[in-house]
């Protein structure tokens, strides 16, 4: 169950160019959050940014009662967040949304992340009981790489692709997935990142008949299921289609259910 | 200690306070129930209903604008019958007024819905004749005095509940439209619905909303809404429910001074799930500070500058 | 190095860039000249002129609202003759287009002003038929296609300068009004003027503005303005000058993509005396980044979502 | 001549309940400002407060190139200002407006201030070459008194009135002026404060035929003379009335010119 909380910021630090880590104190969220869930933040009192901003939970420290968010500075909201200081309080709604399915039957998993989509996957790796965990991450170029060490530690292998080849493999992260999918015999693929990437991952998983969950982004009015603005088209059991809510019915979906525009 | 009475009776809709959740921003109350006690809210105008279920528009359906937001949900809803079956029993667990907000493509659809709802356990029907986010029907009715008179008098025949007509701000003279609705049998009016707007992503050179245009709501529209509520209250005798950008008790008091008997809170309910409660507490605090005991003491008490 | 050409020719008004200071927010340029080089501004639409000097409304005349402001200046100005005598010589020191914004109480007044201005050294006349802050005349003309057609065709006869008709957003269909103005002989259209609004001081229970209502401008109105500019540009063939909440080059580009050939900057000029320059630089930066060379490359280049 | 400046804040400190002192670094303003002038501040980037906020210049330190503002936290704008930190930059337009007339012929002067109207008067006392300077200040109650020491130092006498009598004289500051006006033979009275006070001072000055300048407040759109929103009604030479601009034709006016509503 999500709650409306005023939480204290422990620290805000630059992780890499344009990306910040915010550590927030919260017994409630650190105890209750599950991988794939997000929080919805009112970046300021007043109207400078009116709506909340959704940010995925990247890791939790239950013992210390805190959790980490990683966010990229994009517009007014994330700019305000990046300017917050230790000791400031922020207005947070969370944890929100449907989390990844971490069935213990999934013994061999792949996580496929692109850009700012990698953050919920770190939390997932932390919580997953799988035996083999392979991480495939894609970035625009070497300057955008974050959390490399953390992903390396939390998985059995980490491979990075960059669009411009400035680090790791040059090309798409999905190329690496495609290369390994036969040999690795994954029970489950988890993916989060830009839509073209998710579409490709979905195709690969389908072709090889591997279970796959993807986490989607959509512009949100409320983040908790009330306004129906965050629509995503999915297949119905009757073979038709319907709009469901990314914030409440997702953000994590079984890839086969999603109809990409 | 406190002898402040916040209750209101709007054309027979009895509410414990004058703060109502605005249609489309509160779903059917289920989500908000996780954050607030629905018993403390005067009433809930549910997500706009249509005769048949509607899928709504393609996403993106929301864009933030300066001090406001555009939405183009397009009346996604499970249909009026499913509402009666699935949602009323849930809502009736709480002591809060239920207002069924309805929209149709044709006058027949409106009438059929009104008829169906006449047997349902609701407190009022709110006629949405001004949804800017659907192509056919709906919006057209609300734009002219003739249109609104026609739809209101027809629906009136089929509707045995208090009938609230919701007005669009996208018109030259909202007072004329209000008058037409009153004359045609509306029991109350609610305003404003959203202002039609557009936001453009200059990088992709496309409108942000998949639907291209959407309805503007939030604090940005408040001055327009207050002005319109004032104009309408000068023109009609039936009660008026004011809305548009209410985020605080102070905002609500502006509308009430301008003549509103009750207020609806929309966008604020998306940002703050507990917005209705906060607005209500703010009204009470204002009344206490000024020694008012009944909401009628503030409704319409604006003094014009001369 | 740069081969970006920002110049525009709007129905014969030649400007070095498409950024014009909006009427009422730039006086006659004297105050802003202390902060910016007026030579760098495409044009200046001067404070609304009337036939005789006008004292304007009582203060307070301004109220801040969420992301916007209400004003009720009420056309305080020294009259058109004094403008010609005292202000044109000052403005003509600079190479910037001079647009005379005029408002009258009667059609005769409009025509007389247009005639007087035909001999003056100005670049265009902008017909303000939509000032919400004066009681008589003015506003009434702009509210109906008939009204705008009448005033436009009459003034057209007396006006030998390019004639811009400025449209009010307080109407049901701005496209119909735009079409009527075009058919009646307008050379260009400018929009939007302010939205009628009200703000209430809940402590005194009076409107903040002495005039009770005022005109809403600023970022809050931008989505409405962009939508209206888009609608009008889909309807008329004459050039359109877009405005309403432009504070940055990005804002201006939204209006241009929606179809505007030039933009006016109003409220921003009050907050940032150098706003026009900043907006212009922002447009140029956008064009450079996207490889556009002429403003015509962006005007109307919006692609609708389907 | 006023300029558009980005200036560094040296400090923001609470002066008394609800009132803050902000010291700002500026060679330009400290060198050019005259008593009665104000600055117009954009309290934040963006739309949380859209228009600038006018604040009087309270004192300047030309040697150090800095000046002080005192402001009361009233709404959103002044709240943001109160939260500013040393080292922050603010967007300031100034110095603006017509200053007090400090003709050296005025040898005996009175300053009459009410509430937040006292601030420009301190600057005036600093700059005035008068031989006798009497200060009369009025506050709601003792908790609102600020700058008492400074006023005492800069004038030959200081008397304070409070509405509730919690400090100094109980009653109106204008009562003290009225009491002394005959004996003191002032050449000039300078006043700034709430309109009823200014009206009363104007009456007293008129009755006793003493020169008087008052500084007015009005809601402002621009603060530099362009928008005509800050109107004040004054008498014309022909015996009529006209609206002039508080920001550019004032805020200081000869009291006899002002027509009170
Ligand atoms: C479920 C979910 C989880 C997310 N997790 C993260 C995360 O962990 N780290 C991170 O850096 N970003 C994340 N995002 C994206 C993040 O929400 C946006 O970058 C952010 O809202 C931009 O706000 P802004 O004010 O800085 O930008 P602006 O562009 O000024 O925002 C304007 C409006 O558009 C919306 N918007 C803009 N971009 C997006 C987007 N990509 N998705 C949804 N709404 C958007 C904003 O919420 C706001 O309403 C997530 C988005 C979703 C939906
Ligand atoms: C020439 C001049 C000098 C001033 N000097 C000082 C000073 O030295 N110290 C000080 O504490 N205050 C001073 N004031 C008053 C100060 O400008 C207001 O208190 C301030 O603008 C309130 O802004 P806010 O956002 O906190 O309040 P809000 O009430 O939220 O402001 C809303 C709007 O109303 C305007 N407004 C509200 N009160 C006033 C007012 N009294 N005068 C003008 N506009 C107002 C604001 O500027 C803003 O546009 C001065 C005003 C003027 C005109
Ligand atoms: C996301 C969203 C959906 C809405 N859906 C409806 C609707 O279905 N029926 C309706 O009458 N109004 C609908 N509205 C309009 C609101 O009920 C209200 O009239 C408007 O938002 C102005 O109030 P506000 O500024 O408080 O939001 C919707 C508004 C929003 C923001
Ligand atoms: C203080 C003020 C005075 C105005 N006076 C006039 C006027 O005299 N004539 C006119 O046509 N428009 C006038 N306007 C409207 C503006 O020119 C412009 O249409 C409107 O403000 C919207 O643009 P903005 O949001 O950029 O301010 C005035 C606006 C303001 C804020
Ligand atoms: S954002 Fe409101 S329902 Fe998802
Ligand atoms: S505030 Fe704009 S002229 Fe004075």
Residue nearest to atom 4 of ligand 3 (CA): B24
pLDDT at B138: 52
Mutate to test the interface with C, among D46, D49, D50 (most CBs of C within 10 A): D50
Indicate if the pLDDT at residue C133 is higher than 80: no
Residue C143 preceded by cis peptide, ω within 30 = no
Residue B244 token pair:
């548009």
How many A from CA of A75 to the centre of ligand 5? Answer: 20
Indicate if the pLDDT at residue D101 is higher than 70: yes
How many A from CA of A141 to the centre of ligand 4? Answer: 47
pLDDT at B131: 62
Interface partners of D (3+ CB pairs, < 8 Å)?
A, C
Q: C305, B211: Cβ pair inside 8 Å? A: yes
Name chain C contacts of D259, Cβ cutoff 8 Å: none
C-alpha to C-alpha distance for D200 and B123, rounded to whole angstroms: 58
C222 touches ligand 4 (CB under 6 Å): no
C-alpha to C-alpha distance for B107 and D44, rounded to whole angstroms: 50
D93 touches ligand 6 (CB under 6 Å): no
Rounded to an integer, the average pLDDT of B186-205 is: 98
pLDDT at A201: 97
The domain at D3-96 falls in which architecture?
Answer: Beta Barrel (2.40)
User: Residue-wise over A192-213: b if at least 16 C-beta within 10 A, else e?
Assistant: bbeeebbbbbbebbeeeebbbb
Q: In this prediction, does ipTM exceed 0.95?
A: yes
Please report which confidence band the pLDDT of residue B132 belongs to, taking 50, 70 and 90 as the band edges. low
Rounded to an integer, the average pLDDT of A174-179 is: 94
C-alpha to C-alpha distance for B105 and B84, rounded to whole angstroms: 20
Indicate if the pLDDT at residue D203 is higher than 60: yes
Residue (of C22, C11, C52) closest to C160 by Cα position: C11
Q: How many CA atoms lie within 13 A of C77 on its CB side?
A: 29
C-alpha to C-alpha distance for A242 and B306, rounded to whole angstroms: 56
Residue D88 token pair:
């922050």
Beta-carbon count within 10 A of B77 CB: 27
Using DSSP's 3-state secondary structure scheme, residue A167 falls into coil
CA distances from C265 to B87, B167, C178 (A): 49, 32, 21
Rounded to an integer, the average pLDDT of D97-126 is: 96
CA distances from C98 to C39, C95, C142, C260 (A): 12, 9, 23, 19
The pick from D223, D234, D252 for probing ligand 6's pocket by mutation, whose C-beta has the most ligand atoms within 8 angstroms, reads D223
How many A from CA of B60 to the centre of ligand 1? Answer: 13
What residues does each domain of chain D span? Answer: 3-96, 108-217
Q: How many CA atoms lie within 13 A of B252 on its CB side?
A: 30
Pairing relation of β-strands C43-45 and C62-65?
unpaired
pLDDT at B140: 72
* Total beta-carbon pairs less than 8 A apart between chain C and chain D: 105
pLDDT single digits (tens) D120-136:
999 999 999 999 999 99
Percent of chain C whose predicted confidence (pLDDT) is above 70: 96
Indicate if the pLDDT at residue D117 is higher than 80: yes
Q: Are the CB atoms for C137 and C105 separated by under 8 Å?
A: yes
Beta-carbon count within 10 A of A88 CB: 11
For chain B, what is the mean pLDDT?
Answer: 95
Interface partners of B (3+ CB pairs, < 8 Å)?
A, C
Pairing relation of β-strands A53-61 and A38-42?
antiparallel
Using DSSP's 3-state secondary structure scheme, residue A41 falls into strand
Q: Are the CB atoms for C96 and C66 separated by under 8 Å?
A: no
Q: What are phi and psi of B278, to 5 degrees?
A: -65, -40
pLDDT single digits (tens) D51-97:
999 999 999 999 999 999 999 999 999 999 999 999 999 999 999 99
Please report which confidence band the pLDDT of residue C57 belongs to, taking 50, 70 and 90 as the band edges. very high
Torsion-angle region of residue B11: left (phi > 0), alpha (psi -120 to 50) or beta? left
Rounded to an integer, the average pLDDT of C96-114 is: 95
pLDDT at B133: 58
- For domain B8-57+73-199+214-297, the question of CATH label 3.40.50.1980 is answered with no
Residue (of C239, C260, C231, C248) closest to C286 by Cα position: C248
Indicate if the pLDDT at residue C139 is higher than 60: no
Q: Which residue has the higher pLDDT, B106 or B90?
A: B90
pLDDT at B204: 98
A227 CB near a chain B CB, below 8 Å? yes
Q: Which residue do the tokens 């509402």 mark?
A: B83
C-alpha to C-alpha distance for C122 and C43, rounded to whole angstroms: 11
Specify which residues B215 forms β-bridges with.
B71, B196
* Residues near C81 by beta carbon (within 8 Å), at least 6 away in sequence: C116
Rounded to an integer, the average pLDDT of A164-188 is: 93
Indicate if the pLDDT at residue D210 is higher than 60: yes
Please report which confidence band the pLDDT of residue C130 belongs to, taking 50, 70 and 90 as the band edges. confident
Residue (of C112, C111, C84) closest to C98 by Cα position: C84
Please report which confidence band the pLDDT of residue C132 belongs to, taking 50, 70 and 90 as the band edges. low
pLDDT at C2: 66
Nearest to D219 among C55, C60, C76 (CB): C60
DSSP annotation string for B44-95: EEPSPB-SS-B--PPSP-EEEETTEEEE-----B--HHHIIIIIHHHHTTSS
C122 touches ligand 4 (CB under 6 Å): no
C-alpha to C-alpha distance for D148 and D152, rounded to whole angstroms: 6
Report H helices in chain A.
27-32, 76-82, 119-127, 148-154, 173-184, 195-207
Ligand number nearest to the C-alpha of D231: 6
C-alpha to C-alpha distance for C231 and C247, rounded to whole angstroms: 22
Indicate if the pLDDT at residue B297 is higher than 60: yes
Please report which confidence band the pLDDT of residue A261 belongs to, taking 50, 70 and 90 as the band edges. confident
Q: Which residue has the higher pLDDT, B57 or C140?
A: B57
pLDDT at C192: 98
Beta-carbon count within 10 A of B294 CB: 14
Rounded to an integer, the average pLDDT of B162-185 is: 97
Please report which confidence band the pLDDT of residue B2 belongs to, taking 50, 70 and 90 as the band edges. low
Cα angle value D143/D145/D149 (rounded, 5°): 135
Rounded to an integer, the average pLDDT of A109-132 is: 96
pLDDT at B141: 85
C-alpha to C-alpha distance for D194 and D178, rounded to whole angstroms: 17
Q: Which residue do the tokens 């509160």 mark?
A: B26
Q: Are the CB atoms for A88 and A45 separated by under 8 Å?
A: no
C-alpha to C-alpha distance for D234 and D253, rounded to whole angstroms: 9
pLDDT at B134: 59
pLDDT at B71: 98
Indicate if the pLDDT at residue C131 is higher than 70: no
- Give the CATH number of domain A108-217; options: 3.30.429.10, 3.40.50.300, 3.40.50.80, 3.40.50.720: 3.40.50.80
Q: Which residue has the higher pLDDT, C132 or A61?
A: A61
Question: To the nearest whole angstrom, how far is the Cα of D193 from the nearest Cα of chain C?
Answer: 17
C193 touches ligand 4 (CB under 6 Å): yes
Using DSSP's 3-state secondary structure scheme, residue B30 falls into helix
Residue D220 token pair:
């402002």
Please report which confidence band the pLDDT of residue B135 belongs to, taking 50, 70 and 90 as the band edges. low
How many A from CA of A53 to the centre of ligand 1? Answer: 6
pLDDT at C137: 52
pLDDT single digits (tens) C146-157:
999 999 999 999
Going by the DSSP 8-state scheme, the letter that residue D15 receives in this structure is: E
């Amino acid at each position: 169950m999500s709650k409306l909380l005023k939480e204290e910021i422990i620290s805000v630090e630059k992780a890499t160019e344009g990306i910040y880590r915010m550590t927030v104190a919260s017994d409630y969220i650190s105890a209750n959050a599950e991988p794939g869930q997000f929080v919805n933040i009112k970046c300021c009192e007043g109207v400078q940014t009116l709506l909340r901003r959704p940010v995925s939970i990247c890791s939790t420290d239950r013992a210390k009662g805190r959790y980490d968010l990683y966010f990229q500075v994009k517009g007014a909201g994330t700019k305000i967040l990046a300017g917050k200081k230790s000791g400031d309080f922020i207005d947070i709604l969370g944890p929100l949304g449907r989390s990844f399915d971490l069935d213990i039957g999934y013994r061999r998993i792949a996580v496929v992340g692109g850009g700012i989509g990698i953050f919920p996957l770190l939390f997932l790796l932390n919580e997953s009981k799988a035996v083999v965990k392979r991480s495939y991450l894609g970035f625009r170029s070497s300057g955008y790489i974050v959390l490399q060490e953390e992903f390396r530690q939390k998985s059995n292998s980490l491979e990075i692709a960059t669009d411009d080849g400035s680090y790791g493999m040059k090309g798409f992260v999905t190329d690496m997935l495609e290369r390994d999918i036969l040999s690795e015999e994954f029970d489950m693929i988890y993916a989060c990142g830009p839509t073209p990437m998710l579409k490709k991952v979905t195709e690969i998983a389908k072709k090889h008949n591997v279970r796959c969950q993807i986490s989607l982004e959509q512009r949100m009015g409320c983040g908790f299921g009330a306004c129906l603005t965050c629509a995503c088209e999915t297949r119905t059991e009757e073979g038709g289609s319907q709009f469901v809510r990314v914030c409440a019915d997702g953000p994590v979906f079984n890839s086969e259910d999603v109809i990409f525009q | 200690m406190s002898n402040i009475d916040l209750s209101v009776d709007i054309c027979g809709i009895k509410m414990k306070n004058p703060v109502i959740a605005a249609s489309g921003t509160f779903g059917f109350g289920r989500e908000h129930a996780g954050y607030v006690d629905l018993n403390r809210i005067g009433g809930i105008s549910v997500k706009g209903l249509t005769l048949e279920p509607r899928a709504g528009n393609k996403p993106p359906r929301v864009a933030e604008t300066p001090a406001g937001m555009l939405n183009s949900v397009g009346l996604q809803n499970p249909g009026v019958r499913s509402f009666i079956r699935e949602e009323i029993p849930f809502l009736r667990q709480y002591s809060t007024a239920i207002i069924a907000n309805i929209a149709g493509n044709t006058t027949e659809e409106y009438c059929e819905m009104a008829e169906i709802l006449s047997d349902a356990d609701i407190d009022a029907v709110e006629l949405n004749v001004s949804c800017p986010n659907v192509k056919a029907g709906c919006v057209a009715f609300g734009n002219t005095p003739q249109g609104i008179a026609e739809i209101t008098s027809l629906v009136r025949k089929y509707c045995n509940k208090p009938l609230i007509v919701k007005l669009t701000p996208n018109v030259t003279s909202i007072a004329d439209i209000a008058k037409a609705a009153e004359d045609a049998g509306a029991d109350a009016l609610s305003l404003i619905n959203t202002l039609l707007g557009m936001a453009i992503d200059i990088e992709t050179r496309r409108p942000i909303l998949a639907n291209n245009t959407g309805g503007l709501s939030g604090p940005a529209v408040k001055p327009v809404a207050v002005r319109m509520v004032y104009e309408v209250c000068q023109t009609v005798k039936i009660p008026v429910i004011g809305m548009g950008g209410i985020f605080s008790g102070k905002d609500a008091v502006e509308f009430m001074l301008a003549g509103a008997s009750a207020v609806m809170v929309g966008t604020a309910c998306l940002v703050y799930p507990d917005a209705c409660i906060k607005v209500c507490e703010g009204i009470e605090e204002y009344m206490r500070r000024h020694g008012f005991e009944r909401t009628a003491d503030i409704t319409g008490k604006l003094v014009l500058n001369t």
